[in-house]
Amino acid sequence: MPEPATTSGSISGSATAEQASEALPEAAVLADHVTKRFGSSGGAAVDDVSFAVAKSEFFSLLGPSGCGKTTTLRMIAGFETPTSGRIVIEGRDASTIPVHKRNTNLVFQNYALFPHMTIAQNIAFGPERKRLPRKEVKQRVGEVLEAVHLSEYASRYPRELSGGQQQRVALARALSNRPAVLLLDEPLGALDLKLREGMQFELKRIQRDVGISFVYVTHDQGEAMTMSDRIAVMNLGKVEHLGTPEEIYLRPRTLFTAGFIGQANLLSGKVESKDSDSLIVRLDDGSAMRASAAAEGCDPGAAVAVMVRPEHLRIATNEPPGVGALPVRLVEETFQGSWSRYAAETKTGERVIVNVPSDARLERSAFDGTVWLSSDPEQAYVLPSGATAPQGDAAEPEL
Amino acid sequence: MAAELAPATILEAEPPRARKRARVVAYISSPVAVLVVFFLGPMGILGYMSVLKFGIAGVGGFTGLDNYRSVLTDPTFWQILWTTFTIATVAMVLMLFFALPLAYVLAFKVRRYELQLLLLLVLADQLNPLIRVYAWRTLLGREGIINSALLFTGLIHQPIESLLFSKTAVIIVSSAEYLSLATIPIYAALKAIDPAILEAADDLGAGTFTMYRKMLIPLAAPGIFVALILVYIPLFTEFLTPALVGGTSGFMVGNYIEQQILKTGNWGVGSAMSFLLLVFAVIFVAIMYKLAAINRLQSATNSDA
């Protein structure tokens, strides 16, 4: 691996490990340098991952498929054993605790409801295993059914319910066991968009009401942003960035995170100069951009990328004075209702996306010549360009 | 697409009803012929003989239901039927006790050699039953491997006499005999279960026992019923195994029938017994089928879960 990537990787790695050990006493879940290899020769599906989930925190593992997020979740649940490192649940090393004795419960992607049992029997399954008195089991079933608004379906069978209802039963079944941590494996993946959006708020509400930690696995960045207190962005088995949704969106630590979370224009160049409050980047096409913030490892001479979100770029038909105007040619416009999306191309062929409010749309004639893009230095953010380049599809605009 | 399909469907529908029916008859005629010649024919003969009188002097003409009456009033028959019932039932339960975990391991645990092990199981079933029973005799006999081993380790001081030529022997040998026949349908039923369902049960706190009682057995119920039907009838009519390892206490209805026909020469009574056995078998299958049908309804959700 090239040097910059390994340095930035190890910096973030040690940072999260520090966070992890600091949070140890009150953490609900602690992953401590966890690695998982499948087979004897294969690469690591999860590679030295560390994080701590605080009590009653909504924590998301976000990443593309195959990034190791589900494997990490399954290690917390106990279905997989870490090759090295440990999982600590509520201060106890869980490595040797079998699945059925762990104080965690998992909501499965396809719900995995028991088809031969009624909804009430499904939900009572966990409490019954704990040998709770019949009365208490019944009370818990009633409570969680109420929480997911399915009280009148208690005596139905799973097949008689819609997908969204089954999803809520799966959630209720896991909650009825009152776990220390609730694990959710892309629980909304099988629902259609409308239902999914409704369930996002519902999940967040339930999480706030019951006050237990949620560890939520998803590949949908919007979902993670909406619900999470903190997000761990994963790629190729490693945590790329761990932080609040704002941090990850505005100050991504790596190119991968920048490209994966939301839409980002990433313009490559070299750092020309750096002073106390800003730095100037010479882009590949020769123009300069000023940015007021940068990630670690962006010293003069370093190969970097300037990240600007599409909504933070302005289009001018005449060259504006001062540093920070990028000459481009407009390629197409997509009208989106309240705003318009412009696709533009720099002289070196890099594609740039600009979102403009509808009332500021450009004349057709703007397509004929050069236009200039600019942004406030506060809205531009500089990242070291390393080996963890954004995946093509992740950087593509998402509608 | 639809326009292309339309002429084809018209062509399909074109032959008149009679011709279509003729084709169906042609298709099923050969299996029906085989059934009539080799199955219904002998059954008819058996039925005919069950209403004839057989004596020392030979066939003595039509006797109506006399043979049935004498069988049903014969206390020995009822006693042997009871023995048969207990042997078949205990053997069945014992077999399920092994077949379920075996099917479970095959379906979920072995992964890599699943097909090979399955073939091995089928292959073991193809071994000549006579050879298999004799193999059991060397295991269970007074100086057999099991007794010798137990004596050697000092667990017993006298060889266990009742291992061979007893009810126990018949139960052990016959339950081993049909193990693969019982395992395969259960395996197929288990294979249809979404593994996530079992993981969910595990996650919610189910230990091994609960897993079997609440998940595997109810979800594999259709397969278990098929196994019961497949295995219980041959067990009930077992005749070779009790003859070779049963002694006098492991005497089953099958042996009684053989004795009536081949030793006593009373074809009438033997045939009547066979028919009664058939009636019991049909009743058993009917009950099982009813139970299985109920269960199919419940586990049908498996696919859309």
Q: What is the DSSP string of B168-186?
A: HHHHHHHHHHTHHHHHHHH
Residue B205 to residue A113, Cβ atoms within 8 A: no
Taking only the tens place, the pLDDT of each residue in A323-365 is 678 889 999 888 888 889 999 999 888 889 999 998 888 888 8
* Token pair of B141 as six digits: 């006999």
Query: B57 pLDDT exceeds 80?
Result: no
Query: A61 pLDDT exceeds 80?
Result: yes
Measured at the CA of A160, the angle between CA A155 and CA A164, to 5 degrees, comes to 105
Query: B276 pLDDT exceeds 50?
Result: yes
| Euclidean distance between CA atoms A314 and A316, whole angstroms | 7
Q: Which A positions 166-195 lie with beta carbon below 8 A of chain B?
A: 166, 173-174, 177
pLDDT confidence of residue A20: 46
Q: In whole numbers, what is the pLDDT of chain B averaged over residues?
A: 83
Asked whether the beta carbons of A73 and A185 are under 8 A apart, the reply is: yes
Taking only the tens place, the pLDDT of each residue in A83-95 is 999 999 988 898 8
User: Min CA distance, B294 vs chain A (Å)?
Assistant: 11
Asked whether the beta carbons of A235 and A388 are under 8 A apart, the reply is: yes
Return the axis-axis angle of helices A119-129 and A134-147, rounded to nearest 10°.
Answer: 130
Q: Check CB contact of B199 with chain A, cutoff 8 Å.
A: yes
Query: A17 pLDDT exceeds 50?
Result: no
pLDDT confidence of residue B15: 62
| Euclidean distance between CA atoms B255 and B84, whole angstroms | 10
pLDDT confidence of residue A363: 82
Confidence bin at A10 (pLDDT 50/70/90)? very low
Taking only the tens place, the pLDDT of each residue in A187-245 is 998 888 888 888 898 899 989 988 899 999 999 998 999 999 999 999 999 999 999 99
Is the pLDDT higher at B65 or at A185?
A: A185
Residue B210 to residue A129, Cβ atoms within 8 A: yes
Mutate to test the interface with B, among A104, A116, A140, A182 (most CBs of B within 10 A): A116
Asked whether the beta carbons of A85 and A32 are under 8 A apart, the reply is: yes
Output the 3-class SS for A224-281. Answer: HHHHCCEEEEEECCEEEEEECHHHHHHCCCCHHHHHHCCCCEEEEEEEEEECCCCEEE
Which positions in chain B touch A173 (Cβ < 8 Å)? 200, 204
- By Cβ distance, the residue of B197, B199, B204 closest to A129 is B204
| Euclidean distance between CA atoms A110 and A99, whole angstroms | 19
Query: B74 pLDDT exceeds 80?
Result: yes
Confidence bin at B58 (pLDDT 50/70/90)? low
- pTM value is 0.75
ipTM: 0.78
Residue A105 to residue B215, Cβ atoms within 8 A: no
Q: Which of A297, A264, A242 is nearest to A61 (CA)?
A: A242
- From residue B77, how far is each of A129, B84, B250 by CA, in Å? 48, 10, 14
| pLDDT > 90 fraction of chain A, expressed in percent and rounded | 45
| Euclidean distance between CA atoms B198 and B185, whole angstroms | 19
Looking at the DSSP bridge assignments, the partners of residue A291 are A279
Residues B99-108, mean pLDDT to the nearest whole number: 92
pLDDT confidence of residue A278: 85
DSSP B186-237: HHHHHHTS-HHHHHHHHHTT--HHHIIIIIIHHHTHHHHHHHHHHHHHHHHT
Taking only the tens place, the pLDDT of each residue in A242-289 is 999 999 998 888 889 988 888 889 988 889 888 888 888 998 888 888
Which positions in chain A touch B199 (Cβ < 8 Å)? 79, 99, 106, 108, 112
Measured at the CA of A78, the angle between CA A74 and CA A84, to 5 degrees, comes to 85
Give the range among A61-65, A77-81, B40-44 with minimum mean pLDDT.
Answer: B40-44
Instruction: Find the residue in A nearest to B198 (Cα).
Output: A112
Taking only the tens place, the pLDDT of each residue in B166-203 is 888 899 888 888 888 899 999 999 999 999 999 999 99
Q: Check CB contact of B70 with chain A, cutoff 8 Å.
A: no
Q: How many Å separate Cα B266 from the centre of its chain?
A: 28
Helix (H, G, I), strand (E, B) or coil at A308: strand
Residues B12-17, mean pLDDT to the nearest whole number: 63
Taking only the tens place, the pLDDT of each residue in A164-182 is 899 999 999 999 999 999 9
pLDDT confidence of residue B293: 66
| Euclidean distance between CA atoms A315 and A361, whole angstroms | 10
Query: A159 pLDDT exceeds 60?
Result: yes
Find all residues with CB under 8 Å of A287, minimum gap 6, and list them: A325, A326, A327
- From residue B222, how far is each of A52, A156, B17, B200, B228 by CA, in Å? 46, 22, 37, 21, 10
Return the CA Rg of chain B.
25
User: Min CA distance, B119 vs chain A (Å)?
Assistant: 26
Confidence bin at A290 (pLDDT 50/70/90)? confident
| pLDDT > 90 fraction of chain B, expressed in percent and rounded | 20
Query: A2 pLDDT exceeds 50?
Result: no
Q: Check CB contact of B294 with chain A, cutoff 8 Å.
A: no
Q: Check CB contact of A101 with chain B, cutoff 8 Å.
A: yes
Confidence bin at A385 (pLDDT 50/70/90)? confident
| Euclidean distance between CA atoms A258 and A237, whole angstroms | 17
| Euclidean distance between CA atoms B136 and B127, whole angstroms | 13
Residue A115 to residue B301, Cβ atoms within 8 A: yes
Q: Which of B258, B261, B256 is nearest to B52 (CA)?
A: B261
Output the 3-class SS for B37-60. Answer: HHHHHHHHHHHHHCCEEEECCEEE
Q: Check CB contact of A99 with chain B, cutoff 8 Å.
A: yes
Looking up tokens 């088995």 gives: A237
Taking only the tens place, the pLDDT of each residue in B113-155 is 888 998 988 888 788 888 888 888 888 888 888 888 888 888 8
Which positions in chain A touch B300 (Cβ < 8 Å)? 159
Mutate to test the interface with A, among B204, B214, B217 (most CBs of A within 10 A): B204
pLDDT confidence of residue B296: 54
Backbone angles phi, psi at A182, to 5 degrees: -100, 125
Instruction: Find the residue in A nearest to B219 (Cα).
Output: A116
* Token pair of A246 as six digits: 């704002």
pLDDT confidence of residue B102: 93
Contacts for A127-131: CB closer than 8 Å, 24+ residues apart: A127/A176, A127/A177, A129/A100, A129/B204, A129/B205, A129/B206, A129/B207, A129/B210, A130/A177, A130/B205
Taking only the tens place, the pLDDT of each residue in B245-256 is 888 888 898 899
pLDDT confidence of residue B215: 92
Measured at the CA of A51, the angle between CA A50 and CA A54, to 5 degrees, comes to 160
Q: Check CB contact of B200 with chain A, cutoff 8 Å.
A: yes
| Euclidean distance between CA atoms B167 and B246, whole angstroms | 6
pLDDT confidence of residue A263: 85
Residue B244 C-beta-side C-alpha neighbours within 13 Å: 18
Residue B199 to residue A108, Cβ atoms within 8 A: yes
pLDDT confidence of residue B137: 86
Residue A125 to residue B206, Cβ atoms within 8 A: yes
Find all residues with CB under 8 Å of A96, minimum gap 6, and list them: none
Residue A116 to residue B300, Cβ atoms within 8 A: no
Give the range among A217-221, B57-61, B259-263 with minimum mean pLDDT.
Answer: B57-61
Is the pLDDT higher at A151 or at B284?
A: A151
Q: Which of B221, B261, B217 is nearest to B239 (CA)?
A: B261
